[in-house]
Amino acid sequence: MPQPVSSPLTSAPLPPTENRLVALLRRAGLLDWFLLGLVGAVVLAYWFPEAGSKTSPIPWKTITTAGVALIFFFYGLRLSLDKLRAGLRNWKLHIIVQLITFVAFPVLALAVRPLFAGDKGELLWQSIFFLCALPSTVSSSVVMVSMARGNLPAAIFNASISSLLGIVLTPLWTSLFLHTSADSGHLWGLALSLTWQVILPVVAGVLLSRRFGAFAEQHKGSLRISDQIVILLIVFTAFCESFAEGIFRSYAPTDVALLGLGMVGLYMAIFGVVWGISNVLGFSREDRITALFCGSKKSLVHGSVMASLLFPGMAATGLLLLPLMLYHALQIILASMMAQHMGRQAEAKS
C-alpha cells in the first residue's frame, strides 16, 4: 500500500544548516528573549521618550519601586541559610571571588580614568566605574558554573554573599568616586530607600524562607521572568528620560562601538586575572571554574536598582546603564560558550 506523500509546505524539516545556526545562536545567548527585550526597550524609548519620562501620566516610579521590593523579597525567600553556613568552609575561594568583584573591578576602572577626557569622557567613565562597583549575578553565575561542572555549592554561596555585600559596598564605592551628592539629607534618604526597598524585603524573605522557600524555588522560572520584566521597565524609563533630555546627542555610534570593545577587554582582563590567581593558589578545577564565572559577572538587576536609588532624577541614568547592558549581554554570550566548552571537556575526561 503506497504511503501518503506529505506536503513540503507543512512537514518538511528545516535545512540542517539552519537548524545548526539556530542552535548555535541559542547556545550563545543571542536568542534570549531578555536580551532582545533590552534592545526593544531602548528602541521604544528612542521613538517614544515621552511615554516613560517624568511627564508620562503612568506612575512608573511607583510601579518600579514596588517591583524592586518584590524582586528582593523573593530573592530572600530563596536564600537558604543552611547552604550559606555550609559554604563558609571554602573561605579562600570566597575571599578571592569577592576581592575580584569589589576591588579588582573598581581598581581597573580607576586605572583607565586618565583615558577619559572632558565632560563627555568623564560621564562615560562614571558609567563604567558604576558597572565595576556592582555585585555579581546570582542566577546566571550558578547556571554557568553548573554547565561547566564547577563547584556548585560554592557558586551559590558566593553569588548570594556578593548580592548582600553589594547593598553596602556599591553605594560606598559610588559615594567615594562618583559624587552622588554628599549632603546628609541625601545620604539619609538613600539609606532609607535602601532599607525599605532592598534590605527589609530581603530580611522578610529570609525569615519566611522556611515556610515559603520551597514555593519560591518551585516557581523560580516564573519569578525570574517577573524580575526581568521589572528590569525592562527600569531600563525603558531610564532611557526615556535620557533621550528626552538629549543626553546621547553628543555620542556617535562609534562611541558605543568603542564602549562595547572596552567591555570585551574588561571581561577578558578579569577572566585572565582570576585564572592566574586560581592557578597560583592551586585551586582545583571545580573551584577555579567557580572563581571564573562568579568573579567575572556583574548584576543588571542590582545595577538598575542602584542607579535609580543612587542617582534619583538624573537624566543621564540611561547612559549610566549603557555599559552595564553591554557587559550583561557580553557575559551571557561569552560565558555560555566558555561554560559549555568546559562542560564538554569534563564529560570527555569522565
Which of 15-19, 114-118, 260-264 shows the lowest per-residue confidence on average (mean pLDDT)? 15-19
CB 151 within 8 A of CB 295: no
Domain spanning 53-344, CATH architecture: Up-down Bundle (1.20)
247 to each of 78, 113, 147, 316, how far by Cα in Å? 39, 21, 40, 6
Cell output for 33: 528573549
In Å, the largest CA–CA distance within the chain is 88
Separation of alpha carbons 166 and 201, rounded Å: 15
Q: Which residue has the cell 546566571?
A: 140
Nearest C-alpha neighbor of 83 from the set 169, 160, 139: 160
Eight-class DSSP state of 4: P
Q: Which of 273, 283, 299 is nearest to 94 (CA)?
A: 283
Three cell numbers written together for 268: 577578558
> Burial letters for 22-52: b for 16+ Cβ neighbours within 10 Å, e otherwise?
eeeeeeebeebebbebbeebbebbeeebebb
Over the stretch 55-91, which tens digit does the pLDDT of each residue have? 788 888 888 888 878 877 887 787 766 666 666 678 8
CA angle 225, 229, 234 (to 5 degrees): 145
Of 132 and 239, the structure prediction assigns the larger pLDDT to 132
| H runs (alpha helix) in 219-316 | 220-244, 253-280, 285-295, 300-310
Total residues belonging to the chain: 350
Domain positions in the chain are: 53-344
Contact 309, 181 (CB under 8 A): no
pLDDT confidence of residue 280: 93
Q: What is the mean pLDDT of the chain?
A: 79
Tens digits of residue pLDDT in 197-241: 777 887 888 888 888 888 887 887 788 788 778 878 888 887 887
Contact, 248 vs 317, CB < 8 A?
Answer: no
Half-sphere exposure of 221 (CA within 13 A, CB side): 1
- Cα 305 to Cα 8, 231, 234: the distances in Å are 50, 8, 8
| pTM as predicted | 0.71
pLDDT at 181: 47
pLDDT digits (tens, 9 = 90+) for 147-200: 788 887 788 788 778 888 888 899 889 888 876 544 444 555 556 666 777 778
